A and B are shown apart, each in its own frame.
Chain A
């Protein structure tokens, strides 16, 4: 048991406990909760929030925040939509999807890179820089679309948003791959290592020869890249692009990171607990939905749930002190 605990970390077991609790609770109260259809809908809803949360994760670990994730995703999606629409719309060839997606990824990475450069080389606070970028990108998007929707995409996009491979939703596969890449990035690469160290103490990291400016730039570039992946997925899932779509998810991604035990001050955070936290949030939301509540009640419950978990963590931290004292 202790070995398992060490391997997974306390927060993973705690979150799995919550997940089980949520499943049992809704399993008993909402008759359709424990059905394949419900799990399917969770599996289709999770990836969009999940990808954005991954985009938020690395900046938080590095001691910052990226408030521009949703609009970066929108702008990236817009890039893809523009490429498709200028090359035949519904009749655009698959090669244009590839070109458009590459364009989206480049645009996303570029938006992130600009933020990273400003943060790294001027020392401005990430919250402020990403906030300015968010306002800029929203403005840019609204300027380009005049506030409207862009739609009319080729049919072959459908499977990306709604298809199944071996019974597993394609978006979920995409998310799983992204999460795995992020996990490897954080635990096994020099960049991930540097990002973590920077999150704890950037000056000491620099003294040890870590290239802090390059690392910071790369952190936000990667975050932007992940936003672009989310943006492409959103195009496929909704068959339209609207600037502002998913805006409500911004603070939910931060919430999911904190719920997953990421240190708000930076330096500590892992992909696995964050993914479990995301599943808990989606399960809560879909369970409430089945009980007849709307998305807004879920939002409220998410907020209350985060408070509850933080309070429980505080209580857990108190217990060993008492016992020893």
Chain B
């Protein structure tokens, strides 16, 4: 039995009326690679914040860090004992340089001290060397791509000589090669006795390098399992407490072509893209992040303009000067970034729903409250959105219900073509099936749907045809009924 790095016993935490954690236990061994799995809101983030001293647990908890019982954990205390977190939002400082971000630790403390830039650079260089990566230390962080910022966040954790690193959804924004590089780093850390805890609800890529997985559900501990023989399917069942069948929904679509893309090219984003999307079809578009999928979606939605090639809508060439023109022509786009682009979080569910169809609820130049209420009511019922009041802020809803509001907003525009860009990001496994049921029903009514996703399982299960995109080009087309997951993944990760 390895020595425990941390051991938490009967940890509870209440926020107002919500029991975020209900007497859970959690332990990680030294040098272990551990997974902490659970759906959004299961208490994963709460427990990290308790271990790192951001929150204090309710009375009765016992926290043991590296063999010592600690009465009150503060952020300083946790850091001093070698606990580091790489937050999902990275918690970096975009206006500061790479070196400052990595060696930020050296600038903490209430007593002012002189900043030694050479010493800071030295530490940053050392940390980056341990990761075997090379970054411009004087570049401002906001000039770097997201993946490199993630590297900076990891380097920052290494600077503090961490003995336990939490990684909160670390692979969410990484491409496959970047993920591989990250896993490589994790192996090196583990070999040196540093424990790593992956916190995620999408663990396929990290299951094989970790030894155990702890599953939380609704603030309670479900259990701790060896990863030997654990599958994504089994894990999903443990996380949701439900059993899912994966079936292939694909069928032959005979509808007329709605959207034809011919040789579409945009310098530096995608090249020579051609495909046809039929009425009633769900066309999957998969590939790694950076393959040009979302960029293509942006052009189709009129947010950017192609350099060459053309787009036909119902056989007629179209060229949108803005996304408003695209909406008017019947194209809708569900953004991958629901939090900051898909919805206006602090505003009401009703306002978010009617945002794209203001003309339709206006009579005599004024917005009609009756028409507005009727429209909102219709879509909430149609898409079975679970809400309190339509006047509640949309931020009060769960990820799945928020995505339904996004769908409602676009469906209200009565689109011909619906582009779904990673529609299940941040949506619980259990709620995903519900989203795809709606997608399927929409296709049945004749809507042409382009489903962009980097999850091969998702497109295989839900699309009628699948296009594989890499390096800005379409490399292949697959029929889900004749393709195995392994086959598609082999092509994607090739």
Interface locus among A45-53, A166-174, A187-195: A187-195
A184-B366, A188-B366, A189-B367 given as contacts; is B358 within 8 A of A205 (CB)? Answer: no
The interface bits of chain A over 190-209 (1 if a CB of B lies within 8 angstroms of the residue's CB, else 0) are 10011011001101111111
Instruction: Collect the chain A residues with CB atoms within 8 Å of residue B366's CB.
Output: 184, 188-189
Contact B340 A208 (CB under 8 A): no
Partner of B323, one of A189, A190, A197, A209: A209
Report B20 CB to chain A, min CB distance, Å.
12
A193-B351, A197-B344, A201-B340 given as contacts; is B323 within 8 A of A188 (CB)? Answer: no
A201 to B337, CA, bound (A): 13
- Verify if B409 is at the interface (C-beta below 8 Å from A): yes
Look across to chain B and name the residue whose beta carbon is closest to the beta carbon of A205.
B344
Look across to chain A and name the residue whose beta carbon is closest to the beta carbon of B347.
A200
Look across to chain A and name the residue whose beta carbon is closest to the beta carbon of B410.
A208
Q: A190-B358, A201-B346, A211-B324 provided; 18 other pairs, C-beta below 8 A?
A: A184-B366, A189-B367, A190-B359, A197-B355, A200-B344, A200-B346, A200-B347, A203-B340, A203-B341, A204-B343, A204-B344, A205-B344, A208-B344, A209-B323, A209-B324, A267-B344, A324-B17, A325-B16
Report A169 CB to chain B, min CB distance, Å.
29
Report B402 CB to chain A, min CB distance, Å.
12
- Listed by A's residue number, 17 A-B pairs whose Cβ atoms lie within 8 Å are A187-B367, A188-B369, A193-B358, A201-B340, A201-B345, A203-B340, A204-B340, A204-B341, A204-B343, A204-B344, A205-B344, A207-B333, A207-B335, A209-B324, A267-B344, A267-B346, A267-B347
- Verify if B365 is at the interface (C-beta below 8 Å from A): yes
Contact A209 B327 (CB under 8 A): yes
Chain B interfacial residues counted at CB < 8 A: 30
The interface bits of chain B over 218-235 (1 if a CB of A lies within 8 angstroms of the residue's CB, else 0) are 000000000000000000
The interface bits of chain B over 194-213 (1 if a CB of A lies within 8 angstroms of the residue's CB, else 0) are 00000000000000000000
Closest 8 CB pairs of A and B: A324-B16, A188-B366, A209-B327, A208-B355, A190-B358, A201-B344, A200-B344, A209-B324
Partner of B355, one of A205, A268, A320, A324: A205
- Verify if B14 is at the interface (C-beta below 8 Å from A): yes
Instruction: Collect the chain A residues with CB atoms within 8 Å of residue B433's CB.
Output: none
Contact A204 B342 (CB under 8 A): yes
- Verify if A3 is at the interface (C-beta below 8 Å from B): no
A90 to B335, CA, bound (A): 63
Instruction: Collect the chain A residues with CB atoms within 8 Å of residue B362's CB.
Output: 190
Instruction: Collect the chain B residues with CB atoms within 8 Å of residue A296's CB.
Output: none
A interface vs B, CB < 8 Å?
184, 187-190, 193-194, 196-197, 200-201, 203-211, 267-268, 320-321, 324-325
A210 to B324, CA, bound (A): 7
Contact B323 A207 (CB under 8 A): yes
Instruction: Collect the chain B residues with CB atoms within 8 Å of residue A321's CB.
Output: 16
A233 to B327, CA, bound (A): 44
B interface vs A, CB < 8 Å?
14-17, 303, 322-324, 327, 333, 335, 340-347, 351, 355-356, 358-359, 362, 365-367, 369, 409
Instruction: Collect the chain B residues with CB atoms within 8 Å of residue A190's CB.
Output: 358-359, 362, 367
A209 to B343, CA, bound (A): 12
Instruction: Collect the chain B residues with CB atoms within 8 Å of residue A205's CB.
Output: 344, 355
Instruction: Collect the chain A residues with CB atoms within 8 Å of residue B355's CB.
Output: 193, 197, 205, 208-210
Instruction: Collect the chain A residues with CB atoms within 8 Å of residue B327's CB.
Output: 209
Report B418 CB to chain A, min CB distance, Å.
14
Report B301 CB to chain A, min CB distance, Å.
9
Query: Of residues A189, A209, A267, which shows the largest number of chain B Cβ atoms within 10 Å of its Cβ?
Result: A209
Contact B14 A325 (CB under 8 A): yes
Look across to chain B and name the residue whose beta carbon is closest to the beta carbon of A323.
B16
Look across to chain B and name the residue whose beta carbon is closest to the beta carbon of A187.
B367
Contact B356 A209 (CB under 8 A): yes
Partner of A197, one of B324, B347, B367: B347
Instruction: Collect the chain A residues with CB atoms within 8 Å of residue B345's CB.
Output: 200-201
Instruction: Collect the chain A residues with CB atoms within 8 Å of residue B333's CB.
Output: 207
Look across to chain B and name the residue whose beta carbon is closest to the beta carbon of A203.
B341
Instruction: Collect the chain A residues with CB atoms within 8 Å of residue B16's CB.
Output: 320-321, 324-325
Partner of B409, one of A187, A208, A267, A324: A208
Instruction: Collect the chain A residues with CB atoms within 8 Å of residue B340's CB.
Output: 201, 203-204
Partner of A196, one of B303, B347, B409: B347
Instruction: Collect the chain B residues with CB atoms within 8 Å of residue A200's CB.
Output: 344-347
Instruction: Collect the chain B residues with CB atoms within 8 Å of residue A197's CB.
Output: 344, 347, 351, 355
Instruction: Collect the chain B residues with CB atoms within 8 Å of residue A320's CB.
Output: 16
Report B7 CB to chain A, min CB distance, Å.
27
Instruction: Collect the chain A residues with CB atoms within 8 Å of residue B342's CB.
Output: 204, 207
Report B466 CB to chain A, min CB distance, Å.
26
Report A209 CB to chain B, min CB distance, Å.
4
Report A213 CB to chain B, min CB distance, Å.
10
A200-B347, A203-B341, A324-B16 given as contacts; is B323 within 8 A of A193 (CB)? Answer: no
A196 to B369, CA, bound (A): 16
Query: Of residues A193, A204, A205, A268, which shows the largest number of chain B Cβ atoms within 10 Å of its Cβ?
Result: A204
A210 to B355, CA, bound (A): 8
Instruction: Collect the chain A residues with CB atoms within 8 Å of residue B358's CB.
Output: 190, 193-194
Report B255 CB to chain A, min CB distance, Å.
26
A200 to B393, CA, bound (A): 12
A188 to B369, CA, bound (A): 8
A187 to B335, CA, bound (A): 28
Instruction: Collect the chain B residues with CB atoms within 8 Å of residue A196's CB.
Output: 347, 351
A321 to B17, CA, bound (A): 9
A203 to B340, CA, bound (A): 8
Report A182 CB to chain B, min CB distance, Å.
14
Instruction: Collect the chain B residues with CB atoms within 8 Å of residue A201's CB.
Output: 340, 344-346
Report A223 CB to chain B, min CB distance, Å.
20
Instruction: Collect the chain B residues with CB atoms within 8 Å of residue A194's CB.
Output: 358
Instruction: Collect the chain B residues with CB atoms within 8 Å of residue A193's CB.
Output: 351, 355, 358, 367
Instruction: Collect the chain A residues with CB atoms within 8 Å of residue B303's CB.
Output: 207
A130 to B82, CA, bound (A): 50
Instruction: Collect the chain B residues with CB atoms within 8 Å of residue A184's CB.
Output: 366
Report A287 CB to chain B, min CB distance, Å.
37
Look across to chain B and name the residue whose beta carbon is closest to the beta carbon of A266.
B346
Instruction: Collect the chain A residues with CB atoms within 8 Å of residue B347's CB.
Output: 196-197, 200, 267
A324 to B15, CA, bound (A): 8
Look across to chain A and name the residue whose beta carbon is closest to the beta carbon of B16.
A324
